[in-house]
Amino acid sequence: MVDKTIPIHADSNTDVTCRNIDKEERTLWRKVIDRIADHCRARSLFVLHYCTGCGAIELPPAITSRFDSERLGMQPMVSPRQADLLLITGYLSVKTLKRVILSYEQMQSPKYVIGFGSCTINGGMYWNSYATIKRLEAYIPVDLYIAGCMPRPEAVQQSFIKLMEQIDNGEANAWKDYYRNYDRYLAKQQALFGDEWHTHVDVVAEAEHYQLLTEQTTGQHTKLLEKFANQYAMHDFSTVQIPEEEKVE
């Protein structure tokens, strides 16, 4: 249990147990801006061109000429900094999961994750393998799953359309869940990778910035991160080696 009380910066209407902010409480201006922003976000998704596992083979047909995804507005981007959508297409070995978490945390919000195939849902074909993970949503928050082994490009595109509908309705908020429940995700990640595992990204500070800090964001696992904090203290920008994250609103 935490010793200190964490001041909750979230708005008074935030219910920490559900994933959606109560829509009725926003001002009209805010609602109009959000609606326009969601409309544009849904119609211009940049897919990170990195697919794990067996399903990587289903992505090229979905993007190229036959089942054109550019008419849905999606285009592949090569760096996690530029992408909105991360596709986890198939099994994730423990080694790859580390890199996927690093990529996910480098992506900029709002970001979406789609899990393809049964391996991300409940282990799939490799359910009794010691090296693959069984449930993706224990480690990073997931918006949408597609059943299949592997789903065909038509199914993949249907999932893209479903994700676009969810974004249009303002329901695709799984990225906020990462900030609200970071301690739980970190617990699961450290159970796999060891107690010393941490990333360069200061998730707790970001959660504070987005006003998504809750009681479940910090806990005994995030306390372990404090001993690494001075490695990433603020440098002179002329000598920075690791890009520091600065939030510019």
Partner 1 sequence: MSEQAIDKLSSVFREVPNVQFKQTHARRTEVKLRADTLPAILALLKGRSYIHLSAISCIDRPEFDEFELVYHIWSHEEKNLISAHIKIPKKPGEFVSVHDIYTPAAYFERDIHEMFGVKFEGAPNLKPFVLTEWQGPPPMLKSFDTEKYVQDTYDWLDYQPQWWKEVQEKGGGYAPEDRRAVIMED
Partner 2 sequence: MEELKLSEILLEMVAMPLVAFIVGLFLVLMMRRVKAKIERRIGPPFFQPLYDIMKLYNKETQVSHGYMHDVAIMLLLGGYIASEIFLPVPHMHGLAVQGDLLTLMYLLMVPMLGMALGVGQCANPNASIGISRALSSMLAYDIPFVIVVAGAAIMYGTTNLVEIVEIQQTTEWGLFSMPILALAGLMSMHAMLGKEPFEIYVAPSEIATGPMVEMNGKYMGALFVMQCFQLYTIGALYTVLFLGGGVAWLTFLPKIFLVIFIPVAITNLYGRYRTDDAIRWLWKYPTGIALIGLAVVMFK
Cα(173)–Cα(194) distance, integer angstroms: 29
Task: Build a one-symbol-per-residue string for 47-86: x at contacts with partner 2 by CB under 8 A, - elsewhere.
Answer: -----------------xxx-x-xx-x---xxx-xx-x--
Closer to partner 2 by Cβ: residue 94 or 161: 161
Residues that bind partner 1 (CB under 8 A): 94-95, 98, 121-123, 127-131, 133-135, 138, 191-194
Q: How far is the CB of 135 from partner 1 (least distance, A)?
A: 6
Query: Applying CB under 8 A, does 220 fall inside the site for partner 2?
Result: no
Cα(44)–Cα(42) distance, integer angstroms: 6
For the sheet with 85-89, list strands across it. 75-77, 46-48, 85-89, 112-116, 144-146
Query: What's phi and psi for 9, nearest 5 deg?
Result: -90, 0
Query: Applying CB under 8 A, does 234 fall inside the site for partner 2?
Result: no
Number of residues that bind partner 2 (CB under 8 A): 36
Q: Give the type of residue at 64.
A: T
Q: How far is the CB of 119 from partner 1 (least distance, A)?
A: 12
- Residue 86: name the closest of 123, 129, 55, 127 by CA: 55
Q: 94 is in the binding site of which of partner 2, partner 1, none (Cβ under 5 to 8 A by kind)? A: partner 1
Q: How far is the CB of 73 from partner 1 (least distance, A)?
A: 32
Query: Applying CB under 8 A, does 32 fall inside the site for partner 2?
Result: no
Cα(119)–Cα(133) distance, integer angstroms: 8
Query: Applying CB under 8 A, does 99 fall inside the site for partner 2?
Result: no
Cα(179)–Cα(141) distance, integer angstroms: 10
- Residue 163: name the closest of 143, 177, 142, 136 by CA: 143
- Residue 2: name the closest of 230, 221, 172 by CA: 221
Query: Applying CB under 8 A, does 169 fall inside the site for partner 2?
Result: no
Binding footprint of partner 2 on the chain (CB under 8 A): 36-37, 39-41, 43-44, 64-66, 68, 70-71, 73, 77-79, 81-82, 84, 108-110, 206, 210, 237, 240-249
